[in-house]
Amino acid sequence: MNANADNNSHKYNNHLINESSPYLLSHAHNPVDWYPWGKEALEKAKHDDKPIFLSIGYAACHWCHVMEKESFENEEIASILNENYIAIKVDREQRPDIDQIYMQATMAMTGSGGWPLSVFLTPQLKPFFAGTYFPPENGHGRPGFKYVITELAGGFRAERNHIDEIADKILYALKSSPVPNGAAQLPDKSSVELGYRAVMNGYDSVNGGFGMAPKFLHPIELSFLLKWYSVSHSADALSAVEKTLKAMAYGGIYDQLGGGFHRYSTDGRWLVPHFEKMLYDNALLAVTYGEAYQITKNEPYRQIVEATLDFILREMTDKSGGFYSSLDADSEGEEGKYYVWTKSEIDAILGKKADIFCKYFNVSEYGNFENNTNILNVDKSSLRYFERTELIDDELIKIINELKHKLFDFRSQRVRPLTDDKILISWNGLAISAFCKGYQIIFDDRYKSAAIKAALFIKENMIVNGGLIHSYRDGATSRGEFLEDYAYFMAGLIDLYETVHDYRWIELAVELSHRAMMLFSDDMGNLFLAADNPEEYYIRPKDIADGALPAPGSILIQALIKLGRITGQAKLEKNGGKFLMALSGAISGMPQGMISAFGVLVELIYERNEIVVVGTLDRENFLRKIYQHYIPNGTLIVSDNGSESIPLLEGRKSGGQVSVYICRNFICQRPITDLTELGQALTDIAKSE
């Protein structure tokens, strides 16, 4: 999104005009007198004694755009809002704390949630009414937005005491919601199977994935199943992952031309996506496909990793090195227009070979989407085409790839979906991990360079006085420190160290860990999403469960455990265990929402593996051999000569010749100097978990 238009040319300018978020800037010329969340708006609500209308969304949200066009650009509706409310617009990606607080309230009040999130608050920030998308007028059994804001405004004036009572009851219910207590000790190995059963209870054995339509990508669950497979050797776990990964890669949820995954499928069989593309989905899935490749050596998984990372480099990477947040679902006012095709278009572009392409990607005159358009996908009939054609497989694949490139080049000339080009530390941390995984299985230096460049960008531009600044765009930053930034970035720094072997990244991660524990934890072992801020919070935001992203607390715990093992600072691992024990009640009481915590549990209580590589001669080949193996509960230390003050390097010096030391559960094997022997030792680890 570009906010460089001349503001004087617009009929309306509101208080969002100087914001850095592309989502907020896109509403800066609405007739609604929007304010950003902050001191000015909150004090005005109290001074004027007006309710707050809080609207939360994000740039790639299709229905957010619909509600803007229908209601927020409507002058009559804007007039009602301006007269009766203080209207506040929040980018959920820029203020995850505000989003979490009021999403929790909305779920409690209505039983569901989503975006756009529409919440009505007292001047004291207590919610008294909530919903998501509202059409402008009453119809189809839904109240219209104009009706809602008119009735609530009247009720606030005429029945203020009643409104305050409702808000107080909601607040009481939220504060008294039962959260399972932590146990005095960590769950044991048998409890990890509870997580496995929780995941598999939702598994769709017909189409792959979890749950019914709309069907989300669930990389958290898939990665956990791979961890469970590594310690249990459950064929069912691996089968569920492989079926899902293949189904997603063949479906319309995956961009068959440009790589990368859309946010979710509107149907149960992965055909029709909601077309937005999120950085976090693609980063998490690149890691999952990479892990699956390490286990199975199935080449298509490696190809998906490569295509996904190339998509991020091509379309979501700033020249500074940071990664953008998302691509919109819409272009030219239509959802998916950039990605879909009519058969006549393809025939005209590809000529005589169009028939091959159309048969393989299921393109027809009638289409499989709106207005006789086609979403490219591969199914059993596509695969049978390989059997029917006279072309040999390699020749057919070569032709299809050539046609894909030709169509991709044509598509690149279309009007692109808008890009939300703000840079979030949290999502960039996930992307750093993804590019590290990509380098480890593909050995493309572009991926290693991208990970380094992103980490350097954050270090140089988004760390101020030792603290992480959540959001950056064109030199402007947003305020607030959040647990997700520390957790995901620390995890990314650990992965970066294991990829580039520069111990300074571990030192930075340790520094951030101390600040994270100071800001976000309490004496009981609880982890909060943000530092306490009574001026803005009626309840301190805390969310221990996974959502589209893994629970930040679980990832912080995982990072603390790994940092403790790498550095030898036992207190870090001890703190990780303390925080995990605080979650133990939730782990056993609501396992379906705690899958990332189960993943941490695997790394903490199952056999630990330490791999120490010392020396420089032919080291790259030894590291490549290590990277070929999936060892989720492993610690990797790499040193030129063993001189660093790291406990695992004690007594392990080298004059150049590479020696690899493998220790399991504090018992070390003799040093390995032969590649074949190393490969066998790593295979033995995988078999014996």
CATH of residue 658: 3.40.30
Residues 277 and 158 in one domain: no
Q: How many domains does the chain have?
A: 4
Is 184 within a domain?
A: no
Domain final residue pick, 126, 142, 175: 175
Residue 145 falls within a domain, yes or no?
A: yes
344: helix, strand or coil: helix
Asked if residue 447 and residue 541 are part of one domain, the reply reads: yes
Kind of pairing between the strands at 86-91 and 35-36: parallel
Residue 688 has pLDDT above 70, yes or no: no
Q: What is the pLDDT of residue 648?
A: 86
Which has more pLDDT, 580 or 176? 580
| H/E segment holding residue 618 | none
Q: For 69, which DSSP code?
A: I
635 in a structural domain = yes
- Do 456 and 541 fall within a single domain? yes
Q: 638: Cβ–Cβ under 8 A, 6 or more apart, which residues?
A: 498, 501, 612, 613, 614, 619, 623
Q: For residue 9, what pLDDT band results from cuts at 50, 70 and 90?
A: low
Domain of 171 in residue numbering reads as 7-175
Q: Where are the alpha helices (DSSP H) in 501-618?
A: 504-520, 552-567, 570-582, 584-589, 595-605
Asked if 448 and 382 sit in the same domain, the reply is no
Do 400 and 425 fall within a single domain? no
Rounded Cα–Cα distance for residues 481 and 261 (Å):
29
Taking the C-alpha atoms of residue 94 and residue 91, their distance in angstroms, rounded to an integer, is: 5
Residue 474 vs residues 315, 325, 453: alpha-carbon distances, Å: 17, 14, 17
If asked whether residues 351 and 454 sit together in one domain, one would say: no
Both tokens of 129, joined, read 């009414």
**424 within domain boundaries:** yes
Residue that is last in its domain, among 544, 574, 605: 605
pLDDT at 173: 85
pLDDT of the residue at 585: 87
Average pLDDT over residues 387-392: 66
Predicted pLDDT at 543: 87
Average pLDDT over residues 468-488: 93
Q: What CATH number does residue 33 fall under?
A: 3.40.30.10
pLDDT at 5 over 50: no
The secondary structure of residue 591, as a DSSP letter, is G
Average pLDDT for the chain: 92
Q: Report, as an integer, the average pLDDT of 392-411.
A: 90
574 and 451 housed in the same domain: yes
DSSP type of residue 326:
E
Res 388 pLDDT > 90: no
Supply the pTM of this predicted model: 0.94
Residue percentage of the chain with pLDDT more than 70: 96
Residue 182 inside a domain? The answer is no
What integer is the mean pLDDT of 433-462?
97
pLDDT confidence band for 382 (50 / 70 / 90):
confident
The predicted pLDDT at position 646 comes to 85
The answer as to whether 183 is a domain residue is: no
Mean pLDDT across the stretch 184-212? 90
Percent of the chain whose predicted confidence (pLDDT) is above 90: 77
Q: What was the pLDDT predicted at 654?
A: 75
Q: Is 274 part of a structural domain of the chain?
A: yes
Domain containing residue 207: CATH number: 1.50.10.10
DSSP tag of 59: T
Place of tokens 């524990």: 517
Are 402 and 534 part of one and the same domain?
no
Q: Are residues 113 and 77 in the same domain?
A: yes
| pLDDT confidence tier of residue 649, bands split at 50, 70 and 90 | confident
Task: Check whether 8 has a pLDDT greater than 90.
Answer: no
The verdict on 595 and 566 lying in the same domain is yes
Asked, for residue 2, whether it belongs to a domain, the answer is no
Q: Show Cβ contacts of residue 411 under 8 Å, excluding neighbours closer than 6 positions.
A: 257, 258, 338, 339
Domain boundary among 577, 605, 633: 605
Is residue 314 located within the same domain as residue 373? no
- Quick one: 534 and 592 in the same domain? yes
pLDDT, mean of residues 287-303: 97
pLDDT at residue number 129: 95
